[in-house]
Amino acid sequence: MAIHKYTVLEANNINLGQSGSIFTDDNSGAIKPPDGKAFVAIQFLAATTFDSSGGLVAENSTFYPSTEASAHDATGGSETYQEGSGGKQIDVSNTFPAGSTIYGRWTEIDLASGSIIAYIG
């Protein structure tokens, strides 16, 4: 299978979720994007919390907030990029209000409560 070459506009559209989206208000199991994709934005339709383990799994927990680790917490490592400081791990006590949207790259979402639309890119 050949690699498809996208124009800059096409590539940006894909990154903005034009690969589709998933709605969930189910707190009984995780949702995952198709292979090779990630959730690039999460829009909160109701006040939402994530499960404490596996609730919000970042593609790279050094870059993006998650329930698994603290992003940009300046704990060191051999990364070659500039790392920020002060980032905290998301836990079940963190509520995301209805109407807000977060951006990043996540490979799994499991709600404790609430409802969302997760955009795939």
Condensed to tens digits (0 to 9), the pLDDT of residues 20-66 reads: 999 999 887 899 999 999 999 999 999 999 998 889 999 988 889 99
Can you give the residue range of the structural domain that contains 110?
A: 16-74+84-120
Residue 50: inside a domain, yes or no? yes
Residue 79: inside a domain, yes or no? no
Between 77 and 16, name the one with better pLDDT: 16
* pLDDT tens digits, 105-118: 999 999 999 999 99
Nearest in space to 102 (alpha carbons), one of 42, 45, 62, 31: 42
Residue 41: inside a domain, yes or no? yes
- Which residues does 114 contact at the CB level (< 8 Å), separation at least 6? 25, 44, 45, 46, 47, 48, 49, 96
Residue 2: inside a domain, yes or no? no
Whole-angstrom CA distances from 69 to 3, 6, 15, 34, 36 are 33, 33, 24, 23, 22
Residue 29: inside a domain, yes or no? yes
Residue 10: inside a domain, yes or no? no
Residue 4: inside a domain, yes or no? no
Total residues found in the chain within this entry? 121
Q: What's the total number of domains in the chain?
A: 1
Residue 64: inside a domain, yes or no? yes
Q: Please give the model's pTM, rounded to 2 decimal places.
A: 0.80
